[in-house]
Amino acid sequence: MRKIAILPHDNADRIAAAKRLGDLPEWNLADLYAGPDSPELAADLERLQSESVAFEADYKGTLAEALAKPDGGAVLAASLKRYEALEDTMGKIGSYAGLLYATDTTNPVYAKNYGDLSDKLTALAAHLLFFALELNRIDDAVMAAALRDPAAAHYAPFIADLRKERPHQLSDDLERLFLDKAVSSRTGWSRLFDETIAAIRVDTGEGEGDKVTLEEALNTLLDADEAKRRKAAEGISEALKGSGRTFALITNTLAKDKEVSDRWRGFADVADSRHLANRVEAPVVDALVSAVREAYPRLSHRYYAMKARWFGKDKLDTWDRNAPLPEADDRTIAWPEAREMVLSSYSDFSPRLGELAARFFDNAWIDAPVRAGKAPGAFSHPVVPSAHPYVLLNYQGRTRDVMTLAHELGHGVHQILAAPNGALMAPTPLTLAETASVFGEMLTFRRLLDEAPDARTRRVMLAAKVEDMINTVVRQIAFYTFERRVHTERREGELTLERLGEIWLDVQVESLGPAVRLNEGYDIFWSYIPHFINSPFYVYAYAFGDCLVNSLYGVYEANPAGFEDKYIALLAAGGTRHHSELLAPFGLDAREPAFWQKGLEVIEGLIDELAAAEAAS
């Protein structure tokens, strides 16, 4: 989840702020469908119904026999091509429903459309469910022979990944049951969370009776005025606790739902299913987590102690953790300037990446303004290869917002480059999905740092970058630790709201260190993190990506010749190759403990530079 900055609460201030930002783009979803009632959407649904039924009739129960024949490779290729086309259209419809809903999660028409289309897509998927199950039951020798067909060989990476699921595959009836219940269980509870978050209003003390959205209130914590930050933190705590029982119920229900699925599928550890989906080995993740937790004292503990001194405090309060330094530049960065900063950074590194990033601005692929009901944070949605990605921001003109723009455009160009692999192989496992986004941030940061006019500005920028890295690495591993403890304890019974708060505080004490005071009310702050609900155990991918990019950027600085081509090839591979294969050309191996230390040393080096500047002042 990326951070956004707060809108002023007074209407006159809002108008003035909007003028300073310039014209912010809004996306045009008509590239997908003109509206929920568009004839094109209805036609696609009707076509999918007939084609999915025909696909099931043509292949169900016959695949094993057909692939064992001399022309089995041709049959495999033809069936996969048809399956991929169906998945692409279904993905397009699902993406449209989700993006429209993200535009305004409080709009009942959008919410109904999202729910109805989810139901229809689940019904369509039921006709296709057999395909992956039957492919995985085919004998290895028969499958290997079929994949020797040139057309079928194109799909070899997809088949290889699919067959990794074999030990956890259930009977057809049970798989159908899990599919049918997905909408009523996980999807329904996720919607309840999203809509509860969107409906929350926080009193930040800016005006009598004038409450703001949770996202706006969270970003008051970036304000230079400590009184405003404290009032916002207290208001956030009060507002979240008002829905605390709901958040606890959602968390307990979904954790139990996951435990049931894991038990039936034979996953021993609470995070094993995520590791499998990410195509990463558990020991690799364990090595990352251990390295980061061991580095807490050298990273977050040390940095927050320095920041407390800069603020003239013995300890930082929780509302000070992301506060700007006293000498920070609080100017508003207008949208045209942000665009130039990011595009020039991308283009200087690679004209190809710069051209791809420019497409998002030249076309209506970005939705930037803050609006009531809009999904919080930021994301880049890949949609499907036959369409194009869309980027959602909540842009308010701070340097962090520029970094968020650079981050999401990294996802966007990655998704465009991977699209030629097709709907089955374009998606990138989470272990590498954050590579282009974090690399894009690094390019933009380095450019701005090089252009810093004086030592003060450079210090402020270094501190901001260190804080972003701590939030990306330390905080996300702390989140992962929190999730592990919650899901492990949930196997023994429900967790009360109070117990969830206790676990949260334990994890925060360990990760933030003795220089941060955990103020009263902070025990509820776990409840607004959407990844805990929508994507369990997703969070370690951020730390994985940041440490990976730190190492990758070190390779680039040491030897830029030929790096661009290798880097673009890495992104273009999508989900066709394992992370070990993709990192090998750079001389990197995530399975080696030294890999993680190398990435963490980059953060430590920036803290060393800040310490040297402090000593010299």
Q: What is the pLDDT of residues 553-608, one digit of tens each?
A: 989 999 999 999 999 999 999 999 988 999 999 999 988 888 999 899 999 999 99
What number is the average pLDDT over the span 341-349? Answer: 97
Instruction: Give the whole-angstrom CA distance, residue 296 versus residue 513.
Output: 8
CA distance 313 to 298: 20
Q: Does residue 36 have a pLDDT over 90?
A: yes
**Of residues 446 and 77, more confidently modeled:** 77
Q: What is the mean pLDDT of residues 534-549?
A: 91
Q: What is the mean pLDDT of residues 45-55?
A: 98
Bigger pLDDT: 13 vs 116 = 116
What b/e sequence results for 497-520 when a residue is b if at least 16 CB atoms lie within 10 Å of its CB, and e otherwise?
Answer: beebbebbeebbeebbbebbbbee
Nearest to 123 by CA among 61, 191, 49, 175: 49
Q: Is 545 exposed, middle or buried (0-12, 13-18, 19+ CB in 10 A)?
A: buried
DSSP state of 383: -
Per-residue pLDDT, 429: 87
Q: Where are the beta strands (DSSP E) in 117-216?
A: 201-202, 212-213
Confidence of residue 271 (pLDDT cuts 50, 70, 90): very high
Strands (E), 217-331: 316-317
Largest CA distance in the chain: 78
**Predicted local distance difference test score (pLDDT) of residue 179:** 81
CB proximity list for 177: less than 8 A, separation 6 or greater: none
Beta-carbon count within 10 A of 473 CB = 28
Q: 3-class DSSP state for residue 68?
A: coil
Residue that has been written with the tokens 């899990």 in this structure? 178
Determine which of 108-117, 136-145, 369-378 has the lowest per-residue pLDDT on average. Answer: 369-378
Q: What is the rounded distance in angstroms from the CA atom of residue 433 to the CA atom of residue 544?
A: 10
- pLDDT value of residue 16: 61
CA distance 256 to 261: 9
Nearest to 514 by CA among 239, 300, 246: 300
Burial label, 307 (beta-carbon count in 10 A; 0-12, 13-18, 19+): buried
Q: Is the pLDDT of residue 86 over 70?
A: yes
- Using CA atoms, how far residue 216 sits from 140, 202, 252, 277, 556, in Å, is 54, 9, 27, 33, 38
| The two three-digit tokens of residue 190, written as one number | 């996720």
b/e string for 11-35 if b means 16 or more Cβ within 10 A? eeeeeebbeebbebbebebeebbee
Q: What is the mean pLDDT of the chain?
A: 92
Structure tokens at 445: 């940061």
* pLDDT surpassing 70 at residue 13: no
Tokens of 299: 């990273």
What mean pLDDT is predicted for residues 501-512?
98
Name the strands in the sheet holding 366-367, side by side, starting at the edge strand that comes first in the sequence.
366-367, 390-392, 379-381
Average pLDDT score over residue span 298-308: 97
Query: How far is Cα 104 from Cα 511, in angstroms, rounded to an integer?
Result: 35
Distance CA 316, CA 318 (A): 6
Q: What percent of the chain has pLDDT over 90?
A: 76
Q: What's 32-187's CATH class?
A: mainly alpha
pLDDT band for 1, please (50, 70, 90 cuts).
very low
pLDDT recorded at residue 376: 83
Beta bridge partners of residue 516, listed in sequence order: 316
Least confident segment among 56-65, 164-173, 497-506: 164-173
User: Which of the 8 DSSP states describes residue 246?
Assistant: H
User: Does residue 63 carry a pLDDT above 70?
Assistant: yes
| pTM of the predicted protein model | 0.84
Per-residue pLDDT tens over the stretch 420-453: 999 999 999 887 888 999 999 999 999 988 888 8
Res. 330 pLDDT band, cuts 50 70 90:
low
pLDDT classification of 15: cutoffs 50, 70, 90: low
- Phi, psi for 517 (deg, rounded to 5): -90, 125
Compute the distance between CA of residue 150 and CA of residue 453 in angstroms, rounded to an integer.
Answer: 57
Please work out, in degrees rounded to the nearest 5, the angle formed at the alpha carbon of residue 406 by the alpha carbons of 97 and 33.
20
Q: How many CB atoms lie within 10 A of CB 300?
A: 29
Which of residues 53 and 181 earns the better pLDDT score?
Answer: 53
Handedness of CA 183, 188, 194, 195 (dihedral sign): positive
Amino acid at site 607:
I
Q: Assess whether pLDDT exceeds 90 at residue 268.
A: yes
Region 53-71 average pLDDT = 96
Q: Are the C-beta atoms of residues 401 and 335 closer than 8 Å to each other?
A: no
Report the C-alpha gap between 500 and 106 in whole angstroms: 28
Residue 345 to residues 16, 354, 563, 567: CA-CA distances in angstroms? Answer: 29, 8, 16, 16
Average pLDDT estimate for 476-496? 97
For residue 133, name the pLDDT band (cuts at 50, 70, 90).
very high
**210, 7 in Cβ contact below 8 A?**
no
Answer whether 573's CB lies under 8 Å from 418's CB.
yes
Strands 316-317 and 366-367, bridge-based pairing: unpaired
Using alpha carbons only, what angle is made at residue 354 by residues 350 and 359, rounded to the nearest 5 degrees? 155
Residue predicted with more confidence, 283 or 399:
283
617: pLDDT strictly greater than 90:
no
Q: Tell me, what's the pLDDT at 356?
A: 98
User: Has residue 410 got a pLDDT over 70?
Assistant: yes
What is the predicted pLDDT for the residue at 344?
Answer: 97
Please give the radius of gyration of the chain, using alpha carbons only, rounded to the nearest integer.
24
